[in-house]
Amino acid sequence: LLYCMAQVTRKSEILDDVDLLREQLKISSGEAVLHANVVKHLTEEAGISGINKQIEMEKMANDEIKCKRQIVSLENQNVHSVVDSQEKLDTSELSPYYDKILKQLNEKAFQLEVKTADNRILEDQLEKKASECEELQETVVYLKEHIVQALQIDEFLPERVRLQQQTGIDHDVGSQVHNDNPLSSAVSEKPLENTSQSEIDELKQRLCELAEAKVQLEVRNQELLEESTYAKGLASAAGVELRALSEEVTKLVKQKEKLASELESARNSTPRRASHSPRAARKGSHVERHEPGGKRDANSSSQREQALEAMLAEKEQREAELEKKIEESKQKEAFLEGELANIWTLVAKLRKAEGNCEDVIHDLIVDHEP
């Protein structure tokens, strides 16, 4: 009867674990669908980022497809495990398989969380770059308006000069015919000369401003290229450091497990030796003979246990420090990757804006050539 009750209890525990695993699979599937939608949305909005962004989006989409396939395979394995559990009710056979599935599920859930965080970072970057693009477009529109005004002034200047020449001719004719009124043409000629000269000076000043803006854009572009190179170096160094720390953590975990097993065996051996003391108490004189040896064994085992505990505590402390370093390295790597992506996007936009400014300046210079 107790065996049947134990079997029923184990069966209920297995079914509860399987239901929990199903819920986790549903959550992972929902996250995968959300991740796919985010990737699709980012793929639609990332047309301005160029060929590199498209390649990254395709890689992320492929990773999503792989994750979905693995989730489907895990779900199928889950169904098979439920059928086997209902048929056999053998927990000793199910536990390794269940642990393996649970481990795979945790790994895939962690991968999905990482991808979701990457998508959020990309969304923030795209929003920032969209706002920067809007600002650059407003600047370009402002420059175009100034260029149009300059062109209008340039078209207006020949007419003013022609009118000025005609006024000068009329002034000469009038001075020859009417010598008594020489100031009328001079008064009309002087404002025209001042107006045309001021318009020419204003046009030259605007051309100088455009040239200075072009030089500033080139300098900024060079600075961004240097910053991107430095950021790439930092990202690669952080990746190497992260891999080294991961390997060291793995070694420490193995050593910790080994020390824990040795400590457990030492603790188990101490009660066995202590259990022989009542028999020795019954034997009278034999206790006095063997008592120093038992004390030495107890002292050596306690010293060994203390040494193992100290080593285990030291390993745990070192493992905690390494985990902290790994977390800091991951955060640093993520920050550097985000900064690198921002720099490359800004470089592309500045190059595009620089090309537009060069075209506008070239057209303006061509229009003003005689």
Q: pLDDT value at position 288? A: 42
Cβ neighbors of 293 (< 8 A, separation 6 or more) are none
* For residues 133-146, average pLDDT: 77
97 has a pLDDT exceeding 60 = no
Which CB contacts under 8 angstroms, 24+ apart, belong to 367-370? Answer: 367/151, 367/154, 368/154, 368/203
| Residue predicted with more confidence, 197 or 202 | 202
Query: With contact defined as beta carbons under 8 Å apart, do 123 and 114 qualify?
Result: no
Quick: pLDDT tens for 247-268.
777 777 777 777 777 777 766 7
In this structure, how many other beta carbons lie within 10 angstroms of the beta carbon of residue 144? 12
Mean pLDDT: which of 91-95, 221-225, 349-353 is highest? Answer: 221-225
| Residue predicted with more confidence, 362 or 92 | 362
Instruction: Give the pLDDT band (50/70/90) at residue 278.
Output: very low
Q: What are the sequence ranges of the domains in the chain? A: 1-136, 216-272+299-370
Tokens standing for residue 246: 């991961």
Q: pLDDT value at position 184? A: 41
Quick: pLDDT tens for 293-329.
556 666 777 777 787 778 778 877 877 777 777 777 6
Tokens standing for residue 200: 């020419």
Tokens standing for residue 118: 């990457």
Cα 182 to Cα 178: distance, rounded to the nearest angstrom: 8
Instruction: Give the pLDDT band (50/70/90) at residue 127.
Output: confident
| Residue predicted with more confidence, 97 or 272 | 97
Report which of 82, 139, 184 is spatially closest to residue 357, judged by C-alpha positions.
139
287 has a pLDDT exceeding 50 = no
Cα 125 to Cα 46: distance, rounded to the nearest angstrom: 11
Which residue has tokens 């953590």? 249
Q: Is 89 helix (H, G, I), strand (E, B) or coil?
A: coil
Report which of 157, 154, 124, 99 is spatially closest to residue 341, judged by C-alpha positions.
124
Instruction: Give CA angle at 346 (342, 349), nearest 5°.
Output: 145
Report which of 313, 314, 317, 337 is spatially closest to residue 242, judged by C-alpha positions.
337
292 has a pLDDT exceeding 70 = no
Cα 370 to Cα 366: distance, rounded to the nearest angstrom: 9
Q: pLDDT value at position 195? A: 59
User: Running DSSP on this structure, what letter comes out for residue 363?
Assistant: H
Query: With contact defined as beta carbons under 8 Å apart, do 118 and 38 qualify?
Result: no
Quick: pLDDT tens for 149-190.
766 766 655 555 545 545 544 444 444 444 444 444 444 444
Query: With contact defined as beta carbons under 8 Å apart, do 189 and 217 qualify?
Result: no
Q: pLDDT value at position 122? A: 78
Which residue has tokens 């015919």? 177
Cβ neighbors of 50 (< 8 A, separation 6 or more) are 348
* For residues 95-110, average pLDDT: 70
| Residue predicted with more confidence, 281 or 222 | 222
| Residue predicted with more confidence, 120 or 256 | 120
**What residue type is assigned to position 170 of the chain?**
D
Query: With contact defined as beta carbons under 8 Å apart, do 70 and 108 qualify?
Result: yes
Given this structure, which CATH class describes domain 216-272+299-370?
mainly alpha
Cα 179 to Cα 111: distance, rounded to the nearest angstrom: 98
Query: With contact defined as beta carbons under 8 Å apart, do 211 and 285 qualify?
Result: no
Q: pLDDT value at position 354? A: 61
Report which of 115, 114, 110, 108 is spatially closest to residue 35, judged by C-alpha positions.
115
